[in-house]
């Protein structure tokens, strides 16, 4: 096992990684920007190094500063968390050249899955269903029109380098295609520095169901069940749960087997997620594979009892997967992403947290890096906490979440807590019968 690792991230995930390291007796090195000098990941790490000014490009995305920090401190490996450099194949390659271990899959796997248009072909090769659409990226408007005609409208244009729900455009008819193509290309260029697009059939009321896969460097791969992530706003997840209320044991088995087949096909090791869209008739389609730990990993941890960060550290240091096969999930877990944001306009609300009363009690877990008097910097994403509730069944998990949200007090900044309270009370959420369009018109629904 590693003796010392560097965490190339900030916020709650950096702290979460420190928790796992502390339990495993691994020393930690935090890196931080000047804006994060007061952050808890800096306080709790064994060592901390400032790597640059607030802007992410100069700090958390600054590869040479991070590698230097690892060399100076004698760290053996780097955990990238999620976001920032977590899916940057070049970074993984640089580390290999510098003899630093990467806590994630091989650089070539990251690259293969990082191009979402190419990933569709890989899934197809592995015998995993994909939606009708591009076999390669879109070359021209003519190319797109011809393909969309064949696939049938509606279609969705997506960025090959996409993530975080950006650069996506739904096209309902051929007249709208050209204009949407231009908008999507521009959005993708701005967000990812790459305007490459692909196209696939748009499903009108699907569910987002993803599978957690884990693999070691000895060729063993397995899945740890699914997460239901259909409660989204602007294609970004708000609430996640495990298990999905939509799956029968047979469908779970079928989808899980497909996820493992894809992971095995690409020689996957470490933790990863295979995302699917599930249609009303029970057919499912590969959407993308995320080659890192996900924000929503705690719901899987709560129902399986597996510490996914520890597992990542174990397999990255050469250990074998040590999870009993066929381990069954226990109970039900739900996660609410608490963001610092204006609930009406959904824009970030940074600033000083004046009151912070976190909830507790049976079945409640809170992953957070904030505290009373913490000043939320405006430079990074607006996630302040992940509130996770676990119960014997879905109904108990919902009641626990509702109760915890009621007792969760954050003052000084605006948060999405009131929105989550309303989601937990919503009849269709409670029924379990919803799709990715759940949030449409939610504000006017009672």
Which residues of the chain form contacts with ligand ADP (CB under 6 A)? 131, 156, 158, 162-165, 168, 200-203, 206, 208, 232, 235, 275, 277, 287-288, 436
- For residue 243, say if its preceding peptide bond is cis, omega within 30 degrees of 0: yes
Q: Least separation, in Å, of the C-beta of 25 and ligand ADP?
A: 36
Quick one: which of 360, 430, 431, 362 has its CA closest to 392?
Answer: 362
**CA quadruple 57, 58, 61, 62: dihedral positive or negative?**
positive
Token duo for residue 51: 């790597």
Q: Sheet harboring 155-159: ordered strands across?
A: 169-171, 155-159, 197-201
Q: Which secondary-structure segment (H or E) carries 20?
A: helix 11-24
Closer residue to ligand ADP, CB minimum distance, 168 or 323: 168
Sequence-ordered strand ranges (E) for 291-345: 332-339
Cα gap 306→99, rounded to integer Å: 29
Out of 16, 227, 252, 292, pick the active-site residue. Answer: 292
Q: Is 400 a catalytic residue?
A: no
Distances (CA, A) of 27 to 6, 44, 259: 9, 11, 34
Cα gap 415→350, rounded to integer Å: 10
Quick one: which of 293, 295, 299 has its CA closest to 388?
Answer: 299
Closer residue to ligand ADP, CB minimum distance, 277 or 384: 277
Q: Least separation, in Å, of the C-beta of 293 and ligand ADP?
A: 15
Closer residue to ligand ADP, CB minimum distance, 37 or 204: 204
Q: Least separation, in Å, of the C-beta of 73 and ligand ADP?
A: 33
Q: Least separation, in Å, of the C-beta of 319 and ligand ADP?
A: 30
> In which residue are the tokens 């992410």 written?
56
Q: Least separation, in Å, of the C-beta of 374 and ligand ADP?
A: 28
Active-site amino acid positions: 292
């Amino acid at each position: 096992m590693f003796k010392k690792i560097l965490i190339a991230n900030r916020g709650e995930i950096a702290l979460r990684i420190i928790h796992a390291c502390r339990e495993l007796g691994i020393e930690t090195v935090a890196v931080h920007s000047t804006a994060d000098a007061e952050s808890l990941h800096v306080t709790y790490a064994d060592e901390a190094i400032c790597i640059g000014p607030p802007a992410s490009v100069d700090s958390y995305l600054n590869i040479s500063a991070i590698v230097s920090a690892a060399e100076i401190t004698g760290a053996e490996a780097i955990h990238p968390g999620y976001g920032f450099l977590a899916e940057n194949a070049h970074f993984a390659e640089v580390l290999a050249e510098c003899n630093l271990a990467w806590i994630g899959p091989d650089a070539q796997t990251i690259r293969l899955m990082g191009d979402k248009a190419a990933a569709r072909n890989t899934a197809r090769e592995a015998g995993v269903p994909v939606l009708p659409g591009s076999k390669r990226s879109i070359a021209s408007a003519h190319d797109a029109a011809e393909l969309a005609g064949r696939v049938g409208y509606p279609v969705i244009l997506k960025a090959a380098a996409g993530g975080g729900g950006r650069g996506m455009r739904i096209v309902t008819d051929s007249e709208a295609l050209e204009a949407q193509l231009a908008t999507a290309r521009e959005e993708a260029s701005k967000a990812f520095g790459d305007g490459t697009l692909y196209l696939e059939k748009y499903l009108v009321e699907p569910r987002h169901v993803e599978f957690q896969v884990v693999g070691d460097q000895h060729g063993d791969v397995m899945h740890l069940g699914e997460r239901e992530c259909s409660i989204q706003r602007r294609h970004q997840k708000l609430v996640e749960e495990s298990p999905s209320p939509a799956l029968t044991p047979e469908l779970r088995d079928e989808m899980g087997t497909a996820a493992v087949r894809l992971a095995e096909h690409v020689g996957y090791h470490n933790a990863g997620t295979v995302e699917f869209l599930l249609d009303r008739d029970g057919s499912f389609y590969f959407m993308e594979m995320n080659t890192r730990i996900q924000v929503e990993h705690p719901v899987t941890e709560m129902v399986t009892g597996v510490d996914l960060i520890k597992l990542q550290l174990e397999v990255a240091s050469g250990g074998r997967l040590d999870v009993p096969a066929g381990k069954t999930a226990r109970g039900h877990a739900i996660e609410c992403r608490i963001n610092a944001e204006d609930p009406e306009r959904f824009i970030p609300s940074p600033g000083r947290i004046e009151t912070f009363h976190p909830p507790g009690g049976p079945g409640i877990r809170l992953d957070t890096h904030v505290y009373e008097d913490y000043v939320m910097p405006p430079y990074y994403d607006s996630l302040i906490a992940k509130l996770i509730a676990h119960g014997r069944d879905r109904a108990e998990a919902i009641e626990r979440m509702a109760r915890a949200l009621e007792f969760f007090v954050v003052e000084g900044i605006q948060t999405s807590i009131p929105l989550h309270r309303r989601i937990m009370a919503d009849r269709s959420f409670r029924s379990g019968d919803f799709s990715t369009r759940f949030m449409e018109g939610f504000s006017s629904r009672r």
